[in-house]
């Protein structure tokens, strides 16, 4: 008989095929303030993640452990990569989305919409056609903890799409606070987290599901509700399951929205990503730490699947 370890909570038999019962939850980096933005660089064998309040992007590798990747990161939050492998990040402090070129120089992709400053871009994904999709809640301007306190210039907290040609458009404008986002493996759907319950408990902690129709989105309906805390960062695996952050850990949902199980984490989770040497590892940013465990499924993002 296999004993289920205390950090796994199985709600559906399908979950057992995704996380091996012998996998352990390991803290691989500790001593930060508010970790976020994990992104795997398989070609460099390393994980990058943000520590937002200390304005650092950190690097972790199996061989070398934790080191500083970039200081003075302007409260960089969410990270992803484009199909050329370049790092794309969201900076609260400069209220922009920025790309790190292969030579290390920085290119600002978006910082204004219709002439007014963005709120504080939070999280970002890039579709196969090179379009950059990002959320723009106000968390980075509400206080000086993870940005600079300021009044919003935008009338709403929108989700934006930056076309490959550089045109910025609003794709959703009715979120209280849009936060993490991720595509289904075939990019037919985009999931977006509603985290507005952080400041208004009447806002439901839901993940909304949208059909991608070219450069626009059509809402399909609510995908799932987070029963503990709120959803922040999310990733899909290659089989189409969606893994979301929550206050008590990482919640795994089948593509029909069924809760399959949870990875219970001792700190509030902000985000996660897949990666590791063979693509079978999950990295979880959670408050002051980064945790890791081995999983039996790979991530949907092509650069996370190992060499
Ligand atoms: Mg976020």
Residue 75 three-state SS: coil
CA of 78 to the centre of ligand 1 (A): 6
Ligand 1 center from residue 162 Cα (angstroms): 19
Residues 269 and 286 sit within 8 Å (Cβ to Cβ): yes
Cβ–Cβ under 8 Å, residues 75 and 98 = no
76-132 confidence digits (pLDDT tens)? 999 999 999 999 999 999 999 999 999 999 999 999 999 999 999 999 999 999 999
Ligand 1 center to residue 181 CA distance, Å? 9
Q: Distance, CA 13 to ligand 1 centroid (Å)?
A: 30
Residue 162's pLDDT band, with cuts at 50, 70 and 90, is very high
Mean pLDDT score, 188-203: 96
Q: Ligand 1 centroid to 196 CA: how many Å?
A: 12
The tokens 């289920």 sit on which residue? 4
Digit-coded pLDDT (tens) for 273-300: 999 998 999 999 999 999 999 999 999 9
Distance in Å, CA 306 to ligand 1 centroid: 25
3-state secondary structure of 24: coil
Structural domains present in the chain: 8-304 (2.120.10.30)
pLDDT at 307: 56
**What is the CA(53)–ligand 1 centre distance, in A?**
14
The model's pTM: 0.97
Q: Is the predicted pLDDT of residue 4 greater than 80, yes or no?
A: no
């Amino acid at each position: 008989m296999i004993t289920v370890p205390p950090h796994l909570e199985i709600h559906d038999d399908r979950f057992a095929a995704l996380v091996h019962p012998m996998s352990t939850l390991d803290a691989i980096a500790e001593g930060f303030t508010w970790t976020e933005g994990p992104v795997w660089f398989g070609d460099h064998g390393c994980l990058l993640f943000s520590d937002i309040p200390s304005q650092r992007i950190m690097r972790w590798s199996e061989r070398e452990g934790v080191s500083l990747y970039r200081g003075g990161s302007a409260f960089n939050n969410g990270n992803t990569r484009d199909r050329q492998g370049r790092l794309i990040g969201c900076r609260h402090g400069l209220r922009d989305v920025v790309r790190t070129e292969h030579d290390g120089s920085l290119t600002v992709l978006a910082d204004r919409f219709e002439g007014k400053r963005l709120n504080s871009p939070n999280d970002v994904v890039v579709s196969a056609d090179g379009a950059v999709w990002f959320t723009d809640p106000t968390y980075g301007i509400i206080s000086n903890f993870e940005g600079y306190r300021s009044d919003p210039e935008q009338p709403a907290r929108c989700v934006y799409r930056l076309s490959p040609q550089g045109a910025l458009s609003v794709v959703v404008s009715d979120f209280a606070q849009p936060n993490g986002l991720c595509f289904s493996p075939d990019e037919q759907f985009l999931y977006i987290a509603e985290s507005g319950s952080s400041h208004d408990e009447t806002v439901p902690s839901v993940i909304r599901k949208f059909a991608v129709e070219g450069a626009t989105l059509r809402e399909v309906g609510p995908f799932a509700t987070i029963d503990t805390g709120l959803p922040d960062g999310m990733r899909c695996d290659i089989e189409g399951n969606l893994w979301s952050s929550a206050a008590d850990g990482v919640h795994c949902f089948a593509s029909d929205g069924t809760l399959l199980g949870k990875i219970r984490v001792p700190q509030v989770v902000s985000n996660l990503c897949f990666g590791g040497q063979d693509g079978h590892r999950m990295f979880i940013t959670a408050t002051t730490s980064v945790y890791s465990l081995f999983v039996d499924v790979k991530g949907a993002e092509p650069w996370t699947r190992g060499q």
